[in-house]
């Protein structure tokens, strides 16, 4: 199983026949040059969405149309898009599980917000979520954009993920210190991968504080488009 960072909170997960784009942000992503967009998205089979902020959703519908692949996400948003945007969607809700080419995706809570811009101001767009991703005998916790929350206790105990992909840039989500605290208190990760950082000066630029806070855990700072074998 391979995990490939596309910058910010965007990833590509490859397992078996599955090529899942997670919150793919291409347009305006300062970390991903335009000449590498095709490399990042070629052969994708599904798109997985955590919430509707522009740095996660702006390219979802264009990619779904161009690649003719389904978008997987929170039921209310997916149902609306299926009716109005002529794209294929798979909508479900927190606690539910769906399968994408052999990869099991269970939706879990996050604590953030989910809105998009309109002519009359911000509009609510479903709810923010994370996922437990199960493939090849491993369970990955994809936190999505979130702060620390008490739900992490049962999520860690029930799903027992060995790998955490944690938003950790601060300002909009947990920072490195908080993400390390959450990982240490609520989970038993063998590997942690930070994301949603480095993109802008306002965000954390290093994962050193996370590494310091998680002795004995393998903390991998991802490199752009460099596959991580999980």
Q: Residue holding tokens 């692949």?
A: 69
Give the pLDDT confidence of 134-147 residue by residue, as tens digits: 999 999 999 999 99
Burial of 47 (0-12, 13-18, 19+ CB in 10 A): buried
Total domains present in the chain: 1
Looking at per-residue pLDDT, the higher value among 206 and 124 belongs to 206
Q: Do the Cβ atoms of 159 and 132 come closer than 8 Å?
A: yes
Domain containing residue 152: CATH number: 3.60.15.10
What average pLDDT score do residues 51-76 get?
96
Q: What are phi and psi of 225, to 5 degrees?
A: 60, 20
Give the pLDDT confidence of 88-112 residue by residue, as tens digits: 999 999 999 999 999 999 999 999 9
Q: Which pLDDT score, from 0 to 100, does residue 120 have?
A: 82
Looking at per-residue pLDDT, the higher value among 157 and 121 belongs to 157
Q: Which pLDDT score, from 0 to 100, does residue 18 have?
A: 98
Q: Which pLDDT score, from 0 to 100, does residue 60 have?
A: 97
Residue range of the domain that includes 187: 2-229
Q: What is the pTM of this model?
A: 0.97
Q: Which pLDDT score, from 0 to 100, does residue 118 have?
A: 78
Its sign, for the CA torsion 91, 150, 215, 138, is: negative
Reply yes or no on whether the pLDDT at 162 is more than 90. Answer: yes
Give the number of other Cβ atoms within 10 Å of residue 77's Cβ.
23
Q: What are phi and psi of 75, to 5 degrees?
A: -55, -45
* Pick from 73-77, 116-120, 138-142, 147-151: least confident: 116-120
User: Confidence band (pLDDT; 50, 70, 90) for 125?
Assistant: confident
DSSP code string of 64-92: HHHHT--EEEEHHHHHHHHHHS---EEEE
Q: Which pLDDT score, from 0 to 100, does residue 225 have?
A: 98
Give the number of other Cβ atoms within 10 Å of residue 218's Cβ.
12
Mean pLDDT of the chain: 96
Reply yes or no on whether the pLDDT at 216 is more than 90. Answer: yes
Q: Which pLDDT score, from 0 to 100, does residue 122 have?
A: 83
Which of these, 108, 112, 113, lies nearest to 125 by C-alpha position? 113
Q: Which pLDDT score, from 0 to 100, does residue 124 have?
A: 81
Q: Which 3-state string (H, E, C) describes 166-213?
A: EECCCCCCCCHHHHHHHHHHHCCCCEEEEECCCCCCCCCCCCHHHHHH
Q: Which pLDDT score, from 0 to 100, does residue 208 have?
A: 98
Reply yes or no on whether the pLDDT at 168 is more than 90. Answer: yes
Counting residues of the chain whose pLDDT is more than 70, the rounded percentage is: 100
Residues 6+ apart with CB under 8 A from 124: 114, 115
**Three-state DSSP class for residue 35:** helix
Give the pLDDT confidence of 14-60 residue by residue, as tens digits: 999 999 999 999 999 999 999 999 999 999 999 999 999 999 999 99
């Amino acid at each position: 199983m391979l995990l490939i960072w596309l910058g910010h909170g965007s990833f590509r997960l490859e397992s078996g026949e599955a090529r899942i784009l997670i919150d793919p942000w291409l347009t305006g992503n300062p970390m991903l040059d335009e000449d590498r967009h095709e490399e990042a998205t070629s052969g994708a089979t599904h798109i997985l969405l955590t919430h509707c902020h522009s740095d996660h959703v702006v390219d979802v519908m264009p990619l779904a149309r161009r690649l003719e692949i389904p978008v997987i996400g929170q039921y209310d948003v997916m149902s609306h898009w299926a009716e109005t945007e002529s794209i294929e969607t798979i909508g479900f809700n927190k606690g539910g599980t769906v399968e994408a080419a052999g990869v099991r995706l269970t939706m879990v809570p996050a604590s953030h917000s989910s809105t998009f811009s309109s002519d009359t101001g911000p509009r609510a767009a479903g709810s923010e979520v994370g996922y437990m991703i199960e493939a090849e005998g491993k369970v990955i916790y994809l936190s999505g954009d979130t702060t620390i929350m008490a739900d992490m206790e049962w999520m860690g105990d029930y799903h027992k993920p060995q790998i955490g992909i944690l938003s950790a840039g601060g300002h909009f989500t947990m920072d490195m210190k908080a993400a390390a605290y959450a990982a240490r208190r609520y989970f038993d990760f063998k590997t942690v991968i930070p994301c949603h950082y480095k993109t802008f000066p306002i965000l954390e630029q290093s994962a050193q504080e996370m590494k310091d806070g998680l002795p004995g855990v393998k903390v991998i700072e991802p490199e752009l488009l460099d596959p991580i074998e999980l």
